Amino acid sequence: MDSRIQSDRPLVPISSIDDLKKILFIQKTVTDRAKNEMLSIATDGMGNPKAAPVFVAEERKLLTKYANYPTMSEMSAEPDALMNGTKWGATFGVAILVGGLIVEELKRMQPHLEPVLRHMLLLLLDELNHPRHKYLVEPMEKSLTITSKAAPGKEQAIKRQVCTDLADAIIAVGKQYGIVSVMKEADYYGTKRPTIALTPLGKRVFLHMVDAQRFVSEMGKAHTRFQNAKPKLSMS
């Protein structure tokens, strides 16, 4: 992950079990609120599913609302940040919306990759945020392990195709929800780099996703310190 967006400052101040409980309460509250907003958009006042373009446009507005709030890193410098749970916890809202809208769509498109979809999405957004490889899917290839009894010796070619297909899916869904822009079709390989970029919304979503990952790590460490607590650490 791009070290320039990391910080030594903890995302959340946890000095007691009460702090841990308060933070997890905020997480649940914001997550539940965002999930309910997301689900309510799916149908009209009569309970009928909305047309896909209307649904996507309204869900994009909801994602934009949460993404435009400060990330946890941005709020960590404010001493009274926890007093504003909605804004401080906006990262939880982004995490549930990314999971419910983007990752769920990717599951339908690439069901065999379900366990790694969120991680691969973050890798691709990270590369778009700060390109540092020869081609776009290289970080995904490095992260993915593939074995093939049917085609021994061809694992690398298979991996490249799997990652290319997944990148196509991520970019298609990302464009739909306004987090990536595609100026024209292009190959992921070769000398010419694809004209694919993060939008301002995509940059915000990416930063929140990085903080969501850091949050899980910090909560795991806090749980180790407070062995009697058993927090739920999932961000999906």
Record the pTM. 0.84
Q: Supply φ then ψ for residue 89, to 5 degrees.
A: -90, 15
Q: pLDDT class for 148, splitting at 50, 70, 90? A: low
27-51 mean pLDDT: 90
| Percentage of the residues of the chain whose pLDDT score is greater than 90 | 53
Q: pLDDT class for 228, splitting at 50, 70, 90? A: low
Asked whether the predicted pLDDT for residue 236 surpasses 80, the reply is no
Return the pLDDT at 77: 72
Range with the largest mean pLDDT of 12-21, 78-87, 126-135, 184-193: 126-135
Interatomic CA distance for residues 96 and 191, integer angstroms: 37
For 184-200, the pLDDT digits (tens) are 655 555 545 558 899 99
Q: Burial of 87 by CB count in 10 Å (0-12 exposed, 13-18 middle, 19+ buried)?
A: middle
Long-range pairs of 102-106 with CB within 8 A, sequence gap ≥ 24: 102/170, 102/173, 102/174, 102/177, 102/179, 103/236, 105/173, 105/176, 106/166, 106/169, 106/170, 106/173
Return the pLDDT at 3: 41
Q: Burial of 206 by CB count in 10 Å (0-12 exposed, 13-18 middle, 19+ buried)?
A: buried
Q: If you average pLDDT over every residue of the chain, what do you get? A: 85
Return the pLDDT at 57: 95
Return the pLDDT at 202: 97
Q: pLDDT class for 4, splitting at 50, 70, 90? A: very low
203-232 mean pLDDT: 84
Q: Supply φ then ψ for residue 228, to 5 degrees.
A: -80, -15
Hey, what are 37's tokens?
Answer: 């907003």
Greater confidence (10 vs 236) lies with 10
Q: pLDDT class for 151, splitting at 50, 70, 90? A: low
Greater confidence (145 vs 162) lies with 162
